[in-house]
Amino acid sequence: MNDKIIYTGDVGSMYTHMGTLVDALNHFGLNVRIYNGFSADEHLGDRGWHKTGAETIPPVVARGVLIDVAAAKGLDVLPDAYRVTARDLEEALEAQGTLLNGGEVVLIRTGRMKYYYYAEKHMNNSPGLVLGAARWLVEEKGAMMLGADNLSFEIRPSNIPDNWVPVHTYLLAEKGMVFLEVVNLEGLSRDKVYEFAFIGGSLKFRGASAAP
């Protein structure tokens, strides 16, 4: 019978927080709860969260805006551990002649993607956003979704004593905003494309805390 019937099966295994990815709302919480007040005691099972998993992230079609912080400073890559502030973002937008109107997917370039194939250099001492910069984008400029080309989006180590990931918890747990990490923005930067149609759809990994 096996000469007649041909069968193929597959299995895949990966860490969900690798490559270009979107963090789901269950990735980080505050005070023992994730966004919308869901607790692990009630909503975390042995196959992931029953609430706010990666399968709940909808496809996104929106105006995209690149904020090329590195280029605005005349650099290919921001220095190690550079703290990207709201003022940095404002200056880059002004240099580009780009406006944020609200409702955009805002992608921030540090230039760190140039080191992507050199793990130690890419991962260690990465530049990233401070909490004030994230607040400015969300609360003052009305961004719908954020992203960046560095490993963990925000600057580390944190300067907030009791929170080692203040930007993650602010966006995910307080604002209910998923965001992108490790986004390759080099082509957009090279071609000076600062406004574009953003179309993104992540894999529907049920209960997962992130997805490619």
Contact 70, 111 (CB under 8 A): yes
The reply to whether 10 falls in a domain is no
The reply to whether 16 falls in a domain is no
Strand 38-39 vs strand 128-129: parallel, antiparallel, or unpaired? unpaired
**What share of the chain in percent tops pLDDT 90?**
93
Domain total in the chain: 1
Q: Is 48 helix (H, G, I), strand (E, B) or coil?
A: strand
The reply to whether 129 falls in a domain is yes
The reply to whether 204 falls in a domain is yes
Summarize the confidence of residues 30-47 as an average pLDDT: 95
The reply to whether 94 falls in a domain is yes
The reply to whether 11 falls in a domain is no
Domain hosting residue 117, numbered range: 21-211
pLDDT band at 1 (very low <50, low <70, confident <90, very high): confident
The reply to whether 107 falls in a domain is yes
The reply to whether 91 falls in a domain is yes
Tell me the CATH number at 107.
3.50.30.50
* pLDDT attached to residue 90: 98
Which secondary-structure segment (H or E) carries 33? strand 33-34
Summarize the confidence of residues 63-85 as an average pLDDT: 98
Q: Taking all residues of the chain, what is their mean pLDDT, rounded to a whole number?
A: 96
The string of pLDDT tens digits covering residues 101-132 is 999 999 999 999 999 999 999 999 999 999 99
* pLDDT over 90 at 12, yes or no: no
DSSP-H helix ranges across 45-168: 69-72, 86-96, 119-123, 131-135, 166-168
